[in-house]
């Protein structure tokens, strides 16, 4: 069985995928993961997940290009310029 | 399934990896890329596993308890690296058992430097310092490998290697500040290891002709790696009063390029195909230890069943 290993480097940090171990069962997986990913105090915690238990989603279609939900959906520059002009707060080099 | 033909997908894949793209295990990849990955990564795994043998010879002969412990820890790290690396190879389709079969039968290769004997404790120091330094140059260039699972475990491996270099440097410094006899042991070891070190990064083929570079499995040409090694370590060797056994070795101060006596590339080819001074002995030992521990595998599998 393949177990995916996630490790946490310090308390409060996210668990990150570190690699995997092959083991006949969970108790051996624990021993191997401990040796390979934790023996030098490089981890404060490990998560072992049987590979078969992982569901992967890798496609995120965006047919409607919903840009209004993203920062690149907004172009502030031209409007800000106009607003400043109207308010008379435009700095000299900006008016060019 | 993607209806585009394989040639077109391969071209797109090449463009993707050449522009810095990375690939995961479950992604589509050309068969040739997969085969090259397996070959390259398997050889790395073999080298980690075979690389412990020259050092293993010195566990019982290490001069102090402290050195014995450090050497043992380094060997444990390297076997650990082999385990991580064989796992990556397994996910690409070649089981660890098959990789070990090919290793002990002499079909698969391992790095040139592990085909040589370790004559004295000076050799152990030179290996831990300079062979590991040369290896780190190559391994750092793998952090950007187009195959992401390999690049990720290289992060951990490089982190552990940095301790190995320091240990090696400490061994060398202790010897060059010791008796004249100790200093000479280091000089003699350096004389023995210089040729294998110059062979280490491979013949200077242009990057564009190196399939491992074309697929961005490695991100550096052989000669660039050697130049980086020379630039970093020749000054460190010379400042200790050690002499490098190549009168032609010199740096062009204007271009920054090191010139050296052309290594015998036929000899490198012979060494890595099993004709090095310790190749057969090392393989015989690996076969023997594999037979010796076969019962452990049986017990583990029976226990888990």
pLDDT in tens, B127-156: 999 999 999 999 999 999 999 999 999 998
- For the stretch B169-206, pLDDT in tens is 999 999 999 999 999 999 999 999 999 999 999 999 99
CA torsion sign for B37, B301, A20, B131 is negative
The answer to whether the CB atoms of B304 and A18 lie below 8 A apart is: no
How confident is residue A69, by pLDDT bands cut at 50, 70 and 90? confident
Q: How far is B300 from chain A (nearest CA, A)?
A: 8
Report yes or no: B150 and B139 within 8 Å, Cβ to Cβ: no
Rounded Cα gap, residues B125 and B127, in angstroms: 5
Residue in this structure with the two tokens 């409007």, named with its chain if needed? A79
Q: Enter the DSSP assignment of B70.
A: H
Rounded Cα gap, residues B252 and B182, in angstroms: 33
Q: How far is B263 from chain A (nearest CA, A)?
A: 38
- B242 sits in the region (left: phi over 0; alpha: psi -120 to 50; else beta) called beta
How confident is residue B168, by pLDDT bands cut at 50, 70 and 90? very high
* Share of residues in chain B with pLDDT > 70 (%): 99
Mean pLDDT of the residues in chain B: 94
The answer to whether the CB atoms of A24 and B300 lie below 8 A apart is: yes
The answer to whether the CB atoms of B84 and A40 lie below 8 A apart is: no
- The CA-based dihedral angle spanning residues B81, B86, B89, B93, taken in that order and rounded to the nearest 10 degrees: -160
Residue in this structure with the two tokens 């002709």, named with its chain if needed? B209
Task: Check pLDDT > 90 for residue B3.
Answer: no
* Over residues A78-93, mean pLDDT: 90
Q: What per-residue confidence (pLDDT) applies to B220?
A: 93
Out of B101-110, B111-120, B160-169, which region has the weakest mean confidence (pLDDT)? B160-169
Report yes or no: B215 and B146 within 8 Å, Cβ to Cβ: yes
Q: List CB contacts (< 8 A) between A39 and chain B.
A: 76, 80
Rounded Cα gap, residues B48 and B79, in angstroms: 6
Residue in this structure with the two tokens 């992060």, named with its chain if needed? B155
Contacts of B77 (CB under 8 A, 6+ apart): B160, B163, B164
Residue in this structure with the two tokens 């491996």, named with its chain if needed? B157
ipTM of the complex: 0.80
- Provide the token pair at B93: 């389709």
- For the stretch B203-254, pLDDT in tens is 999 999 999 999 999 999 999 999 999 999 999 999 999 999 999 999 999 9
């Amino acid at each position: 069985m393949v177990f995916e290993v996630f490790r946490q480097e310090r308390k409060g940090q996210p668990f990150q995928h570190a690699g995997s171990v092959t083991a006949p069962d969970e108790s051996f997986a624990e021993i191997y993961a401990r040796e390979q990913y934790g023996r030098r105090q490089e981890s404060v915690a490990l998560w072992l997940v049987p590979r078969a238990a992982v569901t992967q989603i890798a496609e995120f279609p965006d047919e409607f290009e919903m840009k209004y939900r993203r920062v690149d959906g907004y172009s502030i520059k031209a409007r800000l310029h106009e607003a400043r002009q109207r308010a008379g707060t435009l700095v000299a080099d900006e008016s060019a | 399934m993607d209806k585009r033909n394989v040639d077109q997908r391969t071209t797109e894949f090449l463009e993707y990896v050449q522009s810095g793209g990375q690939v995961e295990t479950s992604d589509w990849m050309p068969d040739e890329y997969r085969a090259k990955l397996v070959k390259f990564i398997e050889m790395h795994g073999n080298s980690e596993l075979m690389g412990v043998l020259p050092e293993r010879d010195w566990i019982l002969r290490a001069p102090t308890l402290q050195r014995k412990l450090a050497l043992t820890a380094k060997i444990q790290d390297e076997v650990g690296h082999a385990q991580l690396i064989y796992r990556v190879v397994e996910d690409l389709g070649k089981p660890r058992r098959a990789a070990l079969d090919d290793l002990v039968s002499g079909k698969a290769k391992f790095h040139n430097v592990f085909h040589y004997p370790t004559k004295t404790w000076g050799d152990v120091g030179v290996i831990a310092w300079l062979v590991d330094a040369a290896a780190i140059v190559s391994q750092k260039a793998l952090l950007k490998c187009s195959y992401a699972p390999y690049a990720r475990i290289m992060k951990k491996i490089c982190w552990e290697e940095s301790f190995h270099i320091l240990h090696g440097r400490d061994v060398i410094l202790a010897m060059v500040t010791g008796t004249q006899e100790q200093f000479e042991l280091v000089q003699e070891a350096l004389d023995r290891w210089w040729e294998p070190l110059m062979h280490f990064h491979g013949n200077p083929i242009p990057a564009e002709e190196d399939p491992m570079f074309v697929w961005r499995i490695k991100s550096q040409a052989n000669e660039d790696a050697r130049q980086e090694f020379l630039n970093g370590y020749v000054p460190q060797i010379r400042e200790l009063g050690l002499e490098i056994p190549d009168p032609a070795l010199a740096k062009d101060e204007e271009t920054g390029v090191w010139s050296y006596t052309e290594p015998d590339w036929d000899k490198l080819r012979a060494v890595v195909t099993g004709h090095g001074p310790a190749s057969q002995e090392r393989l015989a030992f690996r076969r023997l230890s594999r037979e010796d521990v076969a019962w452990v595998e049986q017990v583990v599998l029976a226990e888990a069943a």
